Amino acid sequence: MLSRGVISCSAQSQKLFSVVPRSSAAARVPPPPSSPHPPPSSSRFASVAWRRSSSFCSSGDPKSKSRSRRMETLKARASAQPLQDADDLINSVETFIFDCDGVIWKGDSLIDGVPETLDMLRSKGKRLVFVTNNSTKSRKQYGKKFETLGLNVNEEEIFASSFAAAAYLKSIDFPKDKKVYVIGEDGILKELELAGIQYLGGPEDGGKKIELKPGFYMEHDEDVGAVVVGFDRYFNYYKVQYGTLCIRENPGCLFIATNRDAVTHLTDAQEWAGGGSMVGAISGSTQREPVVVGKPSTFMMDYLANKFGIQKSQICMVGDRLDTDILFGQNGGCKTLLVLSGVTSLSMLQGPDNKIQPDFYTNKISDFLSLKAATV
Amino acid sequence: MEVQSSTAGAPLEPLSPTNFPGLFDSVDAFLFDCDGVIWKGDKLIDGVAQTLDLLRSKGKKLVFVTNNSTKSRREYAKKFDSLGISVSEDEIFSSSFAAAMYLKVNDFPQDKKVYVIGGEGIIDELQLAGYTGLGGPEDSKKTAEWKSNCLFEHDKSVGAVVVGLDPFINYYKLQYGTLCIRENPGCLFIATNRDAVGHMTDLQEWPGAGCMVAAICGSTEREPIVVGKPSTFMMEFLLKKFQIDCSRMCMVGDRLDTDILFGQNAGCKTLLVLSGVTTLSALQGPANDIRPDYYTNKVSDFINLLGA
């Protein structure tokens, strides 16, 4: 079995069969004049442009694990503890931030015991916030989803990465006369509209075709000052080319990713290729890394801490994914709780490949109702 | 093998009447990239036909090494023919051919299937090598369903996913390839190449295979085995066919991080032409570490240099 990235060489042609990895970053042709412009220091939201795996554009050295390179820079943490005394945890924080997919719901089905758990936390005076990397809906549309599922959640408590993209652009004073090209779904368009930002693209461009024949030329709007890329089920070559042209040719054009999740639970039955795929595609054609506004970047954490006046040490982040939810919580200096009701299994958490250790783990959030200290 | 170019810091030498005769005499075979060197999209670059004729008349072997996997070697021979250039199928080494050969030399089981995100070229070469290819252009019209009880099925006997340039990329293909790689034990992830952009038409650059490959890297969190340039995998087949020492070959290409690096990795001489994706300022710029032995405007410069 050929394991990831390792090349099996036939003995007699050893010399030439060593498949040379892609050239190193230094050997790439220089980037276009437009480099990502960092948020001005006056911005209240000094977001971490969180570099995920650098493997997208750099040497595909079969022996290196880009994730473990990144992990070396995080301080070593003790192994995750199974949650035993829920009250202890609940009493130690003021705010719970919940991821949605795999924590609150799976696809369109509510996970068992969620409504009672949220009610219990509210009755104890805890603030509840919902932070999702899923950019297909706007906050308002998520509000409706919560309502449909019988959950009492206010739109103001929801922070989707679609909202984060618009909020990020606002925080850097994105010029009113510039436009945004969107490779993504309705949620992003709605949030940009609410923020008063002009946009092009979105699902509509899913129907556009190109013809690679002599004389065919694709124009692009030179006023596009940012390309926002997120999960996109209507992904196609037209959009890739449009976004690529904007980033490569419009001076100062930003490349923003709502998130880079590899897979997502669109339906409760299985995993689906996630936003990380679309963002990877644009990274591949532009040879640039995006500013990531969704988890694990702390942009949304900084935003809501500022908005609600919360101290990060008083927050517990609850999620099902180690490299987004838990890392998000850790980057923000919060307590972290992994639930096993989503994409991560116990063996993945405890496996040798995993370097991310949440403070606690438990099966699902309704364990808050059942896990009590033995003495109580 | 060293990834970083070992020629960093060496001076850049334009091809001239002074250095050309030396290069010409020391080379028995010229290896040409195609997009941006021979043609741009479906248009031949000026003077190419005459240059190739001249080289053949002087007894030089001509080889064409292309990362563009949309066609098979056979189809490339037809393309050359339609442009008035006589090239035989076995003088062409496309990354579509490389992908099929990789599976063959690594004894990929005949009872396993290959899922293709890419063009007909890959499907054709797989078939010629005796393998069953699924996907390819056929999956361009497919869409996925996202209803609660709908499962996106995938063939469990897929043992490799080959990803190349695909102008008909869509979510269905991304999902299919992702599931195969993530869920079929031992499934290989092979990239024909990772070029970021290329001249798919004569008027502008378009996203290359690097885009589709990175999309699958993004959803699988795995790195592929790359069979096209700058990997020297294809060189094995070239050597078998031509029996010419690598030091007596000259790689002529328009891209530093594929063509020139390929030539350097294999121990050939290297010549960059500025008729494709690389400009003089990009070549000379501070961010560039890859130094070809020589550079010139275009392939037809040979005609003047030979005449001088």
Give the pLDDT confidence of B116-160 residue by residue, as tens digits: 999 999 999 999 999 999 999 999 999 998 776 789 999 999 999
> What spatial distance separates the first Cα and last Cα of chain A, rounded to whole Å?
53
Mean pLDDT of the B204-216 span: 97
pLDDT at A373 (0 to 100): 56
Q: Which helix (H) or strand (E) holds B57?
A: helix B48-57
Contact A16 B171 (CB under 8 A): no
Over 70: is that where the pLDDT of A8 sits? Answer: no
Q: Are B114 and B102 in contact (CB under 8 A)?
A: no
What residue of A is the nearest CA neighbor of B238? A16
User: Beta-carbon neighbour count of residue A364 at 10 Å?
Assistant: 18
pLDDT digits (tens, 9 = 90+) for A344-361: 999 999 999 999 999 999
Shortest Cα distance, chain B CAs vs residue A208, angstroms: 11
Residue A305 CB partners (closer than 8 Å, separation 6+) = A311, A312, A315, A332
What residue of B is the nearest CA neighbor of A276? B218
Over 80: is that where the pLDDT of A210 sits? Answer: yes
* Cβ neighbours of B4 in A, within 8 Å: 24, 26-27
Determine the residue among B163, B179, B200, B217 to mutate to test chain A binding: the one whose Cβ has the most chain A Cβ atoms within 10 Å: B217
What residue of B is the nearest CA neighbor of A269? B151
Contact B223 A62 (CB under 8 A): yes
pLDDT digits (tens, 9 = 90+) for A62-114: 333 444 444 444 556 789 999 999 999 999 999 999 999 899 998 888 999 99
Question: Which of these, A21, A57, A41, lies nearest to A290 by C-alpha position?
Answer: A57
* Cβ neighbours of B105 in A, within 8 Å: 10, 13, 17
Mean pLDDT of the B76-99 span: 96
Q: Is A193 a catalytic residue?
A: no
What residue of B is the nearest CA neighbor of A12? B236
Over 60: is that where the pLDDT of A41 sits? Answer: no
Mean pLDDT of the B197-220 span: 95
Residue type, position A90, single letter: I
Fill in the DSSP letter of residue B254. Answer: S
Contact A286 B196 (CB under 8 A): yes
CA B49 – CA B274 distance, rounded (Å)? 18
Question: Which of these, B84, B43, B64, lies nearest to B200 by C-alpha position?
Answer: B43
pLDDT digits (tens, 9 = 90+) for A265-303: 788 788 899 999 999 999 999 999 999 999 999 999 999
Q: Are A357 and A80 in contact (CB under 8 A)?
A: yes
Kindly tell me the number of DSSP H helices and DSSP E strands found in chain B. Answer: 11, 15
- Nearest-CB residue to B230 (from A23, A26, A262): A23
pLDDT at A22 (0 to 100): 40
Mean pLDDT of the A195-213 span: 95
Mean pLDDT of the B52-70 span: 97
The number of CA neighbours under 13 Å toward the Cβ of A247 is 32
Over 60: is that where the pLDDT of A35 sits? Answer: no
pLDDT at B145 (0 to 100): 85
pLDDT at A50 (0 to 100): 38
- Joined together, the tokens standing for residue B160 give 């490799």
Q: How confident is the model at residue B221 (pLDDT cuts 50, 70, 90)?
A: very high
Question: Which of these, A372, A295, A341, A256, lies nearest to A129 by C-alpha position?
Answer: A295
CA B244 – CA B100 distance, rounded (Å)? 24
Contact A60 B223 (CB under 8 A): yes
Over 80: is that where the pLDDT of A117 sits? Answer: yes
pLDDT digits (tens, 9 = 90+) for A311-337: 999 999 999 999 999 999 999 999 999
pLDDT at B6 (0 to 100): 60
Residue type, position A257, single letter: A
Mean pLDDT of the A202-225 span: 94
pLDDT at A106 (0 to 100): 85
Catalytic residue among A94, A185, A191, A222: A94
What sign does the dihedral A314-A315-A316-A322 (CA atoms) show? negative
pLDDT digits (tens, 9 = 90+) for A147-179: 999 999 999 999 999 999 999 999 999 999 999
